[in-house]
C-alpha cells in the first residue's frame, strides 16, 4: 500500500497548493528579473540611436520586454494579494498592509526625484525650480495614485532625446491599487472565500472587459484592461490552487499552443496562459529560492527607480544605444533599490500589524471598563 501511494504521488501533477505548502518559492527573484526586463524594455525610449532590438519583439511574440514583465508582475500580484486577504480576512488589516507596502518606497521615490534629482537636472535656476508650484504638484498629484498622473517636472530632462517624462513606470500603480480594492470587495462580500462564486465573478469581469470595456468599475482607462486581466487570472489561480498544475512541462505545452495560435484572435489569451504558467513554474518548480530570498525584496525599488535613472544616463550619454543605456542604469537603480528596501521598505513593514494591535488594545480597554462597571 505504501509503495502504491508513493507511486500515485509521483504520477499526480504538482499543483500550486503543493508549491505553497513547501514554504519555498522564487517569487523575489522572478520579480527582480521582471523589474530588470522593464529597464531593458525601456532602453529604446531614451536614446536617439537605433540598434539592439527588443529580443521578445524580435522573436515574434507580439510583445516587448517591458509589457511582458509588467504582466508577470500583475499575475503574481493577483495570486499573492488574494492569498494575503484570505490569510487575514480582516479588511482594515488587508488595506493597511497594502498601503504600507506600496507607499513608503513610492513616496521616497517621489520626493527623491522631485527635490533632489529634479533640482540637479533642471535647466531652470535652482531658486526658480523650487519656487515652481509644479514641483509640489508632481508629488501631491502622483501621491493620490489617480488615473491623471503628472509626468514632468519643470525643465527636468528637457534636453534629453526622446522625451522629458520623469518616471513613466508609475503608470501601473493606480491600476494595482484598483485591483486591491476589487480583492477587498470580493473578500468583504464573502465571494473570495467561495471558490465557485469567485470563479463566476472573475468570468463575469473578463466578459465585461471583452464586451463592455468602458463599464468596468475601478478600471477607468483602457490601458488598465490587460493588467486587470492578468491580475484576475492570478486571483483565479490562488482560489483554485489545489487544481492548478505547475511545472515546466506545462510551460512547454502552453507555449507551443500559443505559438500555434499566434495568427488567431485568441493568441493573447493563449500567450497569457503560457506566461502565467512560466511565472508559477519559475516560482515553484525551480530550485534556489531559499538562497536568494535571504537578501531582500529589491524588485519594487528597482522598478520605481529604473526609469528616472535611465533618463539620467540619457542626459549624460544621449548617443549610446538602448542596451548600453539599460546596462548603465541597472546598477545605479539597483543600489537605490537596495537602499530603499533596507532604509525605507523593510522598516515600514514592521508596522503591518499596527491595526490589529490597536484593535486588541481597544478591546482590552473596553473589557476593563466593563469590569469596573
| pLDDT value, residue 293 | 80
Q: Are 186 and 201 in contact (CB under 8 A)?
A: yes
pLDDT of residue 55: 87
Residue 51 is predicted with a pLDDT of 65
Alpha helices in 190-288 (DSSP H): 195-211, 224-239, 248-260, 267-284
Per-residue confidence (pLDDT) for residue 191, from 0 to 100: 95
Q: How far apart are CA 39 and CA 298, in angstroms?
A: 14
Q: Give the Å distances, CA to CA, from 192 to 105, 177, 261.
A: 29, 18, 32
Determine the pLDDT at residue 4: 43
Question: Of 74, 52, 72, 54, which Cα lies nearest the Cα of 64?
Answer: 54
The pLDDT value given to residue 22: 86
**Residues 103, 109, 113: CA angle, nearest 5 degrees:** 145
Q: How far is 356 from 337, CA to CA, in rounded Å?
A: 29
pLDDT of res. 197: 95
Q: Which residue is associated with the grid cell 476593563? A: 368
The pLDDT value recorded for residue 353 is 73
pLDDT by 10-residue block (mean), the chain, 373 residues: 45 81 91 96 85 80 91 97 90 92 96 96 95 96 93 94 92 95 95 94 91 84 90 96 94 94 92 96 84 87 98 94 94 97 94 69 60 57
User: Domain limits of the chain?
Assistant: 25-246+285-372
The pLDDT of residue 221: 80
The pLDDT score that the predictor gives to residue 59 is 84
Q: Which three cell numbers stand for residue 285?
A: 518548480
Q: Could you tell me the three cell numbers for 216?
A: 468596468
Q: What is the CA radius of gyration of the chain?
A: 23
pLDDT at 57: 84
Amino acid at each position: 500500500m505504501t509503495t502504491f501511494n508513493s507511486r500515485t504521488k509521483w504520477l499526480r501533477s504538482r499543483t500550486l497548493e503543493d508549491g505553497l505548502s513547501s514554504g519555498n518559492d522564487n517569487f523575489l527573484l522572478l520579480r527582480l528579473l521582471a523589474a530588470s526586463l522593464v529597464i531593458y524594455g525601456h532602453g529604446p525610449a531614451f536614446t536617439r540611436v537605433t540598434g539592439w532590438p527588443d529580443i521578445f519583439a524580435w522573436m515574434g511574440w507580439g510583445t516587448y520586454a517591458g509589457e511582458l514583465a509588467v504582466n508577470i508582475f500583475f499575475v503574481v500580484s493577483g495570486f499573492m494579494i488574494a492569498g494575503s486577504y484570505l490569510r487575514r480576512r480582516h479588511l482594515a488589516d488587508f488595506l493597511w498592509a497594502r498601503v504600507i507596502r506600496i507607499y513608503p518606497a513610492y513616496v521616497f521615490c517621489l520626493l527623491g526625484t522631485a527635490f533632489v534629482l529634479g533640482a540637479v537636472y533642471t535647466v531652470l535656476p535652482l531658486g526658480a525650480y523650487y519656487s515652481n508650484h509644479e514641483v509640489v504638484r508632481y508629488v501631491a498629484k502622483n501621491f493620490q495614485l489617480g488615473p491623471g498622473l503628472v509626468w514632468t517636472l519643470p525643465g527636468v530632462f528637457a534636453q534629453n532625446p526622446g522625451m522629458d517624462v520623469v518616471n513613466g513606470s508609475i503608470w501601473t500603480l493606480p491600476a494595482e491599487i484598483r485591483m486591491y480594492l476589487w480583492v477587498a470587495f470580493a473578500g468583504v462580500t464573502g465571494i473570495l472565500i467561495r471558490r465557485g462564486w469567485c470563479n463566476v465573478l472573475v468570468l463575469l469581469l473578463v466578459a465585461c472587459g471583452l464586451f463592455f470595456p468602458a463599464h468596468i468599475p475601478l478600471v477607468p482607462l483602457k490601458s488598465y484592461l490587460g493588467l486587470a486581466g492578468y491580475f484576475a487570472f492570478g486571483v483565479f489561480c490562488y482560489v483554485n490552487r489545489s487544481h492548478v498544475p505547475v511545472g515546466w512541462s506545462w510551460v512547454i505545452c502552453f507555449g507551443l499552443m500559443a505559438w500555434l495560435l499566434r495568427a488567431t484572435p485568441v493568441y493573447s489569451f493563449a500567450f497569457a496562459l503560457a506566461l502565467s504558467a512560466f511565472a508559477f513554474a519559475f516560482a515553484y518548480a525551480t530550485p534556489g529560492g531559499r538562497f536568494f530570498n535571504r537578501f531582500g525584496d529589491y524588485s519594487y525599488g528597482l522598478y520605481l527607480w529604473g526609469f528616472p535613472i535611465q533618463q539620467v544616463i540619457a542626459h549624460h550619454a544621449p548617443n549610446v544605444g538602448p542596451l548600453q543605456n539599460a546596462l548603465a542604469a541597472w546598477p545605479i537603480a539597483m543600489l537605490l533599490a537596495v537602499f530603499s528596501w533596507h532604509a525605507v521598505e523593510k522598516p515600514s513593514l514592521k508596522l503591518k500589524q499596527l491595526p490589529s494591535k490597536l484593535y486588541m488594545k481597544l478591546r482590552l480597554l473596553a473589557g476593563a471598563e466593563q469590569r469596573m462597571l
